[in-house]
Amino acid sequence: MTLSTSQPLVSVIIPTFDRATWVGEAIASVLAQTYTYLELIIVDDGSHDATLEVVQAFGQALRYIWQAHAGVSAARNRGVAASCGTFIAFLDSDDLWLPRKVAAQVALLQRQPQVQACYTDEIWIRHGVRVNPRQLHQKHSGWLFEPSLPRCIISPSSIMLRRTLWDQLGGFDESLPACEDYDLWLRLTLCTPVWLLPERLIVKRGGHADQLSRCVPVLDQYRIVALEKILTAPLSLSQRQAVLTHLVQKCRIVALGAQKRQHETRWTTYSAKAQYYQQQLVDVRQAAAIP
């Protein structure tokens, strides 16, 4: 990797945990970038496999940090804290970048100094087979707060943001075992537009057994936490109405699942939450109707 004072340094953070069979390909895809003014930081979140040996094979092309297992949010935050770049990008250890990914995003951020963050379209691989995303996963550009409420439309592996924005946001919430990206993107899209590069410049590989979304049960309970957090932010009436609408929907989904599985405590908790937020939604709608 080459460092230059004439180009902005991009800090690339790869968090990894027991993915020795994947992480080498992710690293290689960063080292193959046409934009070379990079620092690559691997944060090993307490792996027990051959991750260290895989990383060491790349020599001095990267920096390796080991930490006791603390989760992907802590690993990403640790990597950024150790980095120096003007721009920050993340790559999940089971994903890949195409060679022009970094160059395209740096060019956009340099060309448009008012843009604080940008992301790219993506290729999806599931169980080794390329699949087409459905219409509901369509990417958008601009103010993305409300489109981001139903689901993550930004992949961590696709985002690049200015360090000043990262500092403003405060990083990933380390208390969340899952949906930490959903939480950060809500905070990010509330404060700034996000520019879409419509090129498919990352490869998202999914379907494997150790994928976080497959390992953590009842993911919606963590999306609910993120939505509850964002309710404390300054929101317009329409934004508050949108958040409450999704809160009611997700609380009902979790309550229904708990009822089917006879988890009485969870059913009681999320049924009550659904009723509570439904009443708040009614109040907001009434307030919005007052001239």
Listed by start position, the domains of the chain span: 10-210, 220-289
- When the pLDDT of each residue in the chain is averaged and rounded to a whole number, the result is 93
- pLDDT over 80 at 83, yes or no: yes
83 in Cβ contact with 167 (< 8 Å): no
CATH assignment of 10-210? 3.90.550.10
CA distance 164 to 7: 17
pLDDT of residue 141: 96
Please report, rounded to a whole number, the percentage of residues in the chain having pLDDT higher than 70: 94
Mind listing the pLDDT tens digit for each residue in 33-53?
Answer: 999 999 999 999 999 999 999
CA distance 157 to 176: 19
**Is residue 174 very low, low, confident or very high in pLDDT (cuts 50, 70, 90)?**
very high
Instruction: Give the number of other Cβ atoms within 10 Å of residue 7's Cβ.
Output: 14
CA distance 201 to 72: 23
pLDDT of residue 228: 98
CA distance 135 to 118: 21
SS3 of 50, please?
coil
Instruction: Give the number of other Cβ atoms within 10 Å of residue 27's Cβ.
Output: 23
- pLDDT over 70 at 276, yes or no: yes
Instruction: Please state the rounded mean pLDDT for residues 129-154.
Output: 89
- pLDDT over 90 at 147, yes or no: yes
Mind listing the pLDDT tens digit for each residue in 210-247?
Answer: 555 555 668 999 999 999 999 999 999 999 999 999 99
Instruction: Please state the rounded mean pLDDT for residues 77-103.
Output: 98
pLDDT of residue 144: 97
pTM of the model: 0.92
